[in-house]
Structure 1
């Protein structure tokens, strides 16, 4: 009888652990649909919402002439990728939308990315190939974030969040990307999202 009493709690614990590894564990904070797009990355290749579907991705808004928040944001994203590597994550992308598309052509974006200790640049798409007005509207509609040209200088006002987008093109979470970045939380969320998609 004692053995039976011991095995029941043990089976319950095993079931609980196994269920934590299964599908449906990711809890979304947001439910924003990313608008359809087709832009150009740093390799002068077309990247679209459709081409990204099937893999979750982390999105951000940056520009290469940024003198304030973008360098630390980009460095933070490289650290997030290191956290992904520690978890052996493969099925993801990192997508940076330039908010200064007139300056940030593919060659400029390639040079910018090369300035950072990126663990695996094959996962990165830095995008351009649209107008300032288009990216402002896209950022607001898809990510509920501000992108605004500053007429007094060459800087662009923009949000500093990182956005987690699921396999279907839905923004499911946003995080601070400049300060107090939750590196471990982002890595766990990405890991859970990838596992749920399998």
Structure 2
């Protein structure tokens, strides 16, 4: 009798583990509408919010002259993209808004991206072509994110988060983009949103 009870517990445990593996449920943690925009990417092409709708995208705020968090954020995003590629995910974009648009002209952004081992550069939109004041307001309204010019240096203060935007242009989640990047969770969330 004891042997049957142990066996039953093992079967129930195994079946619950197997059930959990195939049933990841995406839970949105945010619900912020991205404001409409029409800006320029690293290829000097116009990109609007409408161009990004229809598939999920990962957003971040960076600048090429950054000497603190931007290099690890960009590197970590290439690691996220490798993981997405390994899982066969194709329907997504990576969008990086420059917080230093005066310096970050399209050719500067192109050169910046070339310094990283990007698995598929066609998925990246590095955006510029707006005023500093615009990106500060846009970041706050669309991502609840801080962007602030530092008047005492050539640096710009900004958040180190990645933001998950769904196919309808709603920010639904954010993640640490520097030290504890939850790559597996990001991949699972992207996979859930591309179904």
TM-score normalised to the size of structure 1? 0.87
Partners of 2:87 and 2:172 lie apart in 1 by 21
Partners of 2:61 and 2:113 lie apart in 1 by 14
1:192 aligned partner: 192
Query: Partner of 2:134: helix, strand, or coil?
Result: helix
2:33 aligned partner: 33
2:175 aligned partner: 175
Partners of 2:69 and 2:120 lie apart in 1 by 22
CA apart distance, 1:189: 0.5
CA apart distance, 1:20: 3.6
2:108 aligned partner: 108
Counting only pairs closer than 5 Å after superposition, residues 119-198 of structure 1 correspond to structure 2 as: 119-195=119-195
2:88 aligned partner: 88
CA apart distance, 1:121: 0.2
CA apart distance, 1:148: 0.2
CA apart distance, 1:57: 0.1
Partners of 2:94 and 2:65 lie apart in 1 by 20
Matched, 1:69 2:74: no
Unpaired runs of at least 5, structure 2: 1-11
Partners of 2:36 and 2:57 lie apart in 1 by 15
RMSD between superposed Cα atoms in Å: 1.7
CA apart distance, 1:179: 1.2
Partners of 1:20 and 1:50 lie apart in 2 by 31
1:18-43 Cα distance to aligned partner (Å, 9 max, x none): x948xxx4220100100000110000
Query: Partner of 1:193: helix, strand, or coil?
Result: helix
Aligned length: 179
Query: Partner of 2:66: helix, strand, or coil?
Result: coil
Matched, 1:54 2:54: yes
Partners of 2:105 and 2:72 lie apart in 1 by 21
1:88-128 Cα distance to aligned partner (Å, 9 max, x none): 00000000000000000000000000000000000000000
